[in-house]
Amino acid sequence: MNLLMALNPLAIIGRVFLNFCAAIGRVVIFTFHGVRHVFAPPIYLRLIGKQMMVIGYFSLPVVGLTALFTGMVLALQIYLGSSRFNAENAVAWIVVLGITRELGPVLGGLMVAGRVASAMAAEIGTMRVTEQIDALTTLSTNPFKYLVAPRIIAGVVTLPVLILVADIIGVMGGYLVGTHKLGFNAGTYLKNTFDFLETMDVVSGLVKASVFGFIIALMGCYHGFNSKGGAQGVGRATTDAVVSASILILIANYFVTEIFFAGR
């Protein structure tokens, strides 16, 4: 009896580990099928265009507002911190580097994850519990080709454009605070911004955005595709999609940053 009690915590740990490995395996298999159907014909251009509107155009207001006020508060906080060391001139280039490299892609990706991944999971989850996905299979339409591939393509293509706009808005927010509140000369501020901005800073942020777009679409589709249990299952899938996409975005952000800037 004592031996069984001693082994019970190990059994729990082992069960959790095996369940985790099984979940990773399901995600990997789903990813493989989703990516494979991205490159296989036919290509549903109408569905891709619709998803690009959902991910990009309709997400622009919330991402734009996030970027604007992030740039504004970033300029204010950097000025308050750098003024202790008489380094106020660093505000412009720290704002532009912080927005283009990190805050623009990451905060934009998290906002889109909260808005888009949940919508995808809810839509596909509803189709799953109402057996519409089974109906697609019955009509000889591949669910991966019809539901997953257009969303992945739209996420990878659209999110970099959205983040590029967010970068511009965020830098503009820093410019507005710097020139109208902190007393910087407009020409000097813009000169410092462009002097310290390099192509790699923007490119790294756009690559991050593509990776984040893939993660958002994949997690939204995966959790919706595997939802079960009626309305409660759809709600659970929606929550899981947002949480998993957000965590994976933060993890992927580190590794992409490591790839681009570790040796610099």
Q: Which pLDDT tens digit goes with each residue over 232-261?
A: 888 888 999 999 999 999 999 999 999 887
Residue 7 corresponds to which tokens in the numbers above?
């082994």
Q: Give me the percent of the chain exceeding a pLDDT of 90.
A: 41
Q: Between 219 and 131, whose confidence is greater?
A: 219
Mean pLDDT, residues 49-58: 90
* Helix, strand, or coil (residue 183): coil
Residue 68 corresponds to which tokens in the numbers above?
């604007």
Question: Can you tell me the distance from the alpha carbon of 86 to that of 89, in angstroms, rounded to the nearest whole number?
Answer: 8
In this prediction, residue 263 carries a pLDDT of 60
Q: How many CB atoms lie within 10 A of CB 16?
A: 10
What is the residue extent of each domain of the chain? 59-257
Question: Can you tell me the distance from the alpha carbon of 188 to that of 193, in angstroms, rounded to the nearest whole number?
Answer: 9
**What is the pTM assigned to this prediction?**
0.89
Asked if residues 116 and 59 have their Cβ atoms less than 8 Å apart, the reply is yes
Q: Between 210 and 2, whose confidence is greater?
A: 210
Binning pLDDT at 50, 70 and 90, where does residue 87 land?
Answer: low
